[in-house]
Homo-oligomer: A and B are copies of this chain.
């Protein structure tokens, strides 16, 4: 049996990426009910919303699901307390040190996955006691590593560096992508954009519709002097690009970014002024099916 399935008690080693504003209870429960690991993205959630979404997911599925916690969020301690209180068993941490919570969570019998963008950080995860690393390449949507290591380069080097299982993320949207990363030595795949583009995701319908028209060059890793993030090229992106082309510093970029840009774009559907985070593989994803249909295609990789 696949080690990832064994550790997480799931049927297929397919993880739905935890995404801000687009992955709530409905999406996570649908993925878990169909044999993968659904993930609630806590990054964009207030304490009340997070509590509500975890409780809701429990009513929607009896299968295990996870919560993803970007560690750069100031109230992440409280978020993790809520997840513990509500009996979540699988914790995915990202954008911070794996040392911060792993030992405490392991002591409570929890499974811990951490997202990395380099073999070096994967080794730190293994040393910190993390169960599984999710190695995410340059092509992934949203926040991204500074080193720009692509999934194809990252996976074999990470597999050669650690002995814990490695899940590949970034640039995967169908069964071909899953087969490819398994050939590189990954024990499973995490997909974000493919699940964002489903009926069950909470991305704004106008945003999903926009993405069905995405082109191969519709995204760009941007805001590198601040926190690198892969953006869909809309009007807001053009403003970012203008600043970057003339060598603007972090403070100018932060000021343009402001607050609430991601919610505005992805959740409220303000497609011009909002920040639209998505993976480079979005142009391979032309449809908005149900999670069940997506899973059916993905698991064909294992047949």
Contact = CB atoms under 8 A, between A and B. Distances in A.
Contact of A176 (B156, B172, B216): B156
A17 interface: no
A284 B185 CA distance: 14
Contacts of A139: 150, 152-153
Interface in A129-152: 137-139, 147-152
A108 interface: no
A217 interface: yes
A252 to B, nearest CB: 12
A177 B152 contact: yes
A122 to B, nearest CB: 10
A120 interface: yes
A246 interface: yes
A284 B156 contact: yes
A184 interface: yes
B284 A153 contact: yes
A106 to B, nearest CB: 27
B150 A150 contact: yes
Q: How large is the interface on A (under 10, 10 to 19, 20 to 34, 35 or more residues)?
A: 35 or more
A247 interface: yes
Nearest to A217: B147
Contacts of A184: 176-177, 179-180
Given A118-B217, A149-B280, A245-B247, 20 more contacts: A119-B216, A137-B150, A139-B152, A149-B216, A150-B151, A150-B152, A151-B152, A152-B170, A152-B177, A153-B171, A153-B283, A154-B216, A156-B174, A156-B176, A160-B284, A179-B184, A180-B180, A180-B181, A180-B184, A247-B248
14 contacts: A118-B216, A119-B216, A138-B150, A139-B152, A148-B221, A150-B152, A151-B152, A152-B170, A153-B171, A157-B284, A176-B184, A176-B185, A179-B183, A183-B183
Interface of A: 118-120, 137-139, 147-154, 156-157, 160, 170-172, 174, 176-177, 179-185, 216-217, 220-221, 245-248, 280-281, 283-284
